[in-house]
Structure 1
Amino acid sequence: MSIELWFAFLLAAAIVIAIPGPTNLVVVAYTLRRGRRAGLTTVLGVLPGIATAMMLSFAGLGALLAASAEVFTAVKWAGATYLIYLGIRQWRAAAAPADLPGSDDKPGADDSNAQGRMLRDAFLVTLLNPKGIIFFSAFFPQFLDPGRPMLPQMVLLGATFLLLVLPINSAYAVMAGALRSRLAEAAWRRMLNRIGGGLLIGAGLFTLTLRRS
């Protein structure tokens, strides 16, 4: 793969990752609810979700989703239902003391359990997006040099994509955390929970509108 082709992929992938979608919204929602540290933890759940989606795509699931309406619909409904569930859970969450400023640096007794839930949620939301798996099947081949071995190129593009996900999604967490830090009152925190929950519910409803390309 030429350096020019790699740079073209780098630019295109950065734009794609930066566009708001279910994964970014999960990061924002958890940041608004629990703080910047929680948002950055959520990013760590996004990475294995994307890596798994890539491997499934390269293994042929992307082509199956594009060809089979039944499989696509099943994955779509699973992903949408999970997003809506997360949105409702966040909407109903109270602005508890653990949500107050400074909680980012003072983990609670259930901190490890909360981190596990955040990692799980980010992983599943990222994985249960049929368009994401199809995207990798359609996007990556455009930047592969047919005159060179495929596997090293696919590994390079996959690693590049994952390395871009980390800073871009972390930027979402930092920006949402800056907003949250300015709003200390419980009433404002409840509003932020509902904003985050509404975003997730909206992402779930949008997922239901997806159609195979």
Structure 2
Amino acid sequence: MTWQIWLVFLTTSAILLALPRRSMIDVASFAVGLGRRSAFATVTGVIIGHLCAAALVFALAVTLGLASPFTLSLIQGAGLGLLAIKAINLWRNPTATEPVADNDNLPVEKPLGVVAHLVKRTTIQPDSLILVAAFLPQFVPLAMANPSDAFALIGAFAGMAGLVAVAYALAAFKIRKILQKHRRRRASDRSRGTVLIAARSVTAGYRKIAA
């Protein structure tokens, strides 16, 4: 494939993968709840999950394209329609539909459990599967001409998903630091107020005794 097609593929992949989905919200949730130690596990889970989902979609699409090119063209048209609907819904309601969980609501905490959870989210969750199934078949005819391009597209898609997950994790780390700083500052302000009230009470009591 030409570098122009690769540029379109990578740019479009980055935009679509950056959409707020349950798997990426989970990345942010683990980052807020567990801190930096969750980043390696969440990014690994996202990459593995997207590798599995992309490989499955590509295998089915290539098989279908070889058996019935017309059916593949119908699937490509339906995929473009789904992507358009997703874009319209995001434009009308840009906020995520589910909140970021705190550390009390995390489903798992151990690294292997986090990896397995993200793999499951990416390969089974409907929003992720629909995204992969709608987008990747658009490039199947190009990959069919050269099988090595199919593996390259799958790897690039999973790698881009990993980079997006890193961005989500870093953003969550920054939000976590801001929240922690705000909590420390609020606790400090409260303690200062308590000390000031206590000092005034002691002074008032001393004056009353002296009088």
Distance 1:35 1:51 in 2: 25
Q: Work out which of the residue numbers 139, 161, 164 in structure 1 matches 2:160.
A: 164
**What displacement does 1:157 show?**
1.2
The residue type equivalent to 2:178 in the other structure is R
Is residue 2:104 matched to residue 1:93?
yes
Is residue 2:117 matched to residue 1:121?
yes
Which residue number corresponds to residue 128 of structure 2? 132
Structure number having the greater helix percentage: 2
**What displacement does 1:131 show?**
4.2
Which residue number corresponds to residue 174 of structure 2? 178
Distance 1:56 1:91 in 2: 33
Relative to structure 1, is the Cα distance of residues 146 and 119 closer, same or farther in structure 2, using a 3 angstrom cutoff?
closer
Q: How high is the sequence identity, in percent, across the aligned residues?
A: 26
Relative to structure 1, is the Cα distance of residues 134 and 59 closer, same or farther in structure 2, using a 3 angstrom cutoff?
farther
Q: Is contact 1:23-1:46 (8 Å) kept?
A: yes
Distance 1:131 1:184 in 2: 32
**What displacement does 1:91 show?**
5.6
- RMSD of aligned C-alpha atoms? 3.4
Deviations 1:16-56 (A, max 9, x none): 11111111101000011111231342111111111111122
**What displacement does 1:164 show?**
1.3
Q: Is contact 2:29-2:102 (8 Å) kept?
A: no
Q: Is contact 2:30-2:103 (8 Å) kept?
A: no
Distance 2:130 2:29 in 1: 25
Structure 1: unaligned runs, 5 residues or longer: 67-86, 95-112, 189-213
Which residue number corresponds to residue 17 of structure 1? 17
Distance 1:147 1:156 in 2: 9
Q: Secondary structure at the match of 1:20?
A: coil
Flag the structure with larger Rg.
2
Is residue 2:46 matched to residue 1:36?
no
**What displacement does 1:14 show?**
0.8
Distance 2:180 2:24 in 1: 23
Q: Secondary structure at the match of 2:180?
A: coil
Count of aligned pairs between the two proteins:
148
Structure 2 length-normalised TM = 0.59
The residue type equivalent to 1:135 in the other structure is L
Which residue number corresponds to residue 93 of structure 2? none
Distance 2:179 2:169 in 1: 16
Deviations 1:50-97 (A, max 9, x none): 111112212339x8xx8xxxxxxxxxxxxxxxxxxxx99x56818xxx
Q: Secondary structure at the match of 1:93?
A: coil
Which residue number corresponds to residue 188 of structure 2? none
Q: Secondary structure at the match of 1:12?
A: helix
Task: Pick 1 or 2: higher relative contact order, CA cutoff 8 A, min separation 6.
Answer: 1
Is residue 2:14 matched to residue 1:3?
no
Structure 1 length-normalised TM = 0.58
Structure 2: unaligned runs, 5 residues or longer: 65-74, 76-97, 185-211
The residue type equivalent to 2:59 in the other structure is A
